Structure 1
Amino acid sequence: MLALLHTSPLHIPLFDALRDEHHPGLELRHSVAPDLLVRAREHGPEAVAADVATALRRAAAEGVQAVLCTCSTIGEVAERAAGEVGVPVIRGDRPMAAAAVTAGPRIAVLATVESTLAPTLALLDDEARRAARPIRARARVVPDAWSRFEAGDIEGCAQLVAAAADAVTDADVILLAQASMTSAARLTATTLPILSSPRPGLAAAAAAGSARATVG
């Protein structure tokens, strides 16, 4: 069983669909804490670090083998709280960042909220150091995309993100920084590789949970 900590309920059907396609039979327990993102956007991720740890501990109760944090804004503080949780805590965007580093040195990062830019760029730098690969990452926020997503207009958000991705010309890979942007990839015309976090993040959490269950 995996626990997933989200900051939007709109992520639940996305991860359930990925589970059904790639990990049939895996039990997912969803926790949603939108206030964590609201406050992180206003005051920075460090301001909610203690509450993120509390949310992770709550999500990890009752037989869960691992917890996946799907929000890129609070991913760094969630990862740091792993020692307080008692089970592995997977930062959902780390596998994506590792793949981006190996795809080429020029990484174009697209986001829909400003608060995710610094954590994502820091994560890319960390993965670049681990891989001993130089990178040049550039990041920008897609205007109006987040307001569309918050209003439940996932398709409208995806269209704006897809248009921004198609406008990227000087990169080796495009990274969609937030799980909420995933559906944009199917709308793009660019020939550049586009990476998003939900599928590799869920796979990493499933592997961590399986390893823990085997050891246990």
Structure 2
Amino acid sequence: MKTVVAVYTGQGLADPLKAVFREVLPDVRLVNIIDDSLIGDVVQAGHIPPGVARRLVQYFHHGEELGADVILNTCSSVGEVAEEARKLIGVPIVKIDDAMAAKAAAAYDRVAVLATLPSTLQPTMRLIEAKAAELGRDVKLVNGLAEGAFEALTGGRPEEHDRILLETALRVAKDADAIVLAQGSMARMEKALAEETGKPVLSSPRLGVEQVRETLEKLSRGEPIERPSFGGATQVCG
């Protein structure tokens, strides 16, 4: 049985992601590492503090020690730390939003990025830009920061969170060919937002788990997994 270790910076996505794993990878042993202080510290600082980066890399090391065949980083806010950690960890790290960003960059010329936190919005936009650059494409990104939605959710007002998110989606949809949900926890609204805006809506959980499955299949076939090396070149693991 293959083992996947999922590292979380908050509680909200763990149960929905378990459901996706049961559907996409039912025979995989899933181990969760959850430290909800991480996203709290990121939100408070407005960026990724060094202490958060250190703790996150430690959790990736713990995942490797737990016997992970693949580690899944589930938080877009710290995706750039996960990218750098690939240089330090001996097993592949899949970022939950990688496949979503690649799909958006390849398929659409104008992409609205919906987020409730600037700390998630900016890394997601940079990731889509990077994917577009790899493809030689020029993709216009539309800022879809849903101000006040995060506070509504953490304040126990989920209906207000959903209302703000929908209003923001309707606003940015006018200037976009598709909408990307920067936070995996938004995936529950994917269908509703697509129906209300009339635009394709992409979310990360299923696409991320499907990328985990593809990575496991490559490992089973003995194919090397590319990852960045120090200095920006590429090395392989596997």
Q: Same fold (TM over 0.5)?
A: yes
**If you compute each CA radius of gyration, which structure gives the higher value, 1 or 2?**
2
Choose which of 67, 79, 84 in structure 1 pairs with 2:88. 84
Choose which of 70, 73, 93 in structure 1 pairs with 2:74. 70
1:180 aligned counterpart, secondary structure:
helix
Aligned-pair identity in percent equals 30
Query: Which residue of structure 2 aligns with residue 55 of structure 1?
Result: 59
Query: Which residue of structure 2 aligns with residue 171 of structure 1?
Result: 176
Tell me whether 1:182 sits opposite 2:187 in the alignment.
yes
Cα deviation, residue 82, structure 1: 1.3
- Cα distance in 2 for residues equivalent to 1:152 and 1:65: 37
Q: How does 1:36-55 map to 2 (within 5 A)?
A: 36-41=38-43, 42=45, 44-45=47-48, 47=50, 48-55=52-59
Query: Which residue of structure 2 aligns with residue 122 of structure 1?
Result: 126
2:7 aligned counterpart, secondary structure:
strand
Tell me whether 1:5 sits opposite 2:7 in the alignment.
yes
2:5 aligned counterpart, secondary structure:
strand
Q: For 1:157-211, what per-residue CA distance to the aligned partner results, in whole angstroms no more than 9, with x for missing partners? A: 3443233223321111101101111111122212110011111111112222333
Cα deviation, residue 43, structure 1: 5.1
Query: Which residue of structure 2 aligns with residue 14 of structure 1?
Result: 16
Structure-2-length-normalised TM-score: 0.83
Q: 1:57 to 1:147 in 2, by over 3 A?
A: same
Question: Does the CA contact (< 8 Å) of 2:144 and 2:168 recur in 1?
Answer: no
1:25 aligned counterpart, secondary structure:
coil
Residue type at the aligned position of 2:99:
P
Cα deviation, residue 114, structure 1: 1.1
Which 5+ residue runs of structure 1 have no aligned equivalent? none
- Cα distance in 1 for residues equivalent to 2:6 and 2:69: 11
Question: Does the CA contact (< 8 Å) of 2:8 and 2:32 recur in 1?
Answer: yes
Question: Does the CA contact (< 8 Å) of 1:95 and 1:204 recur in 2?
Answer: yes
Query: Which residue of structure 2 aligns with residue 97 of structure 1?
Result: 101
RMSD (CA atoms): 2.0
Which 5+ residue runs of structure 2 have no aligned equivalent? 223-237
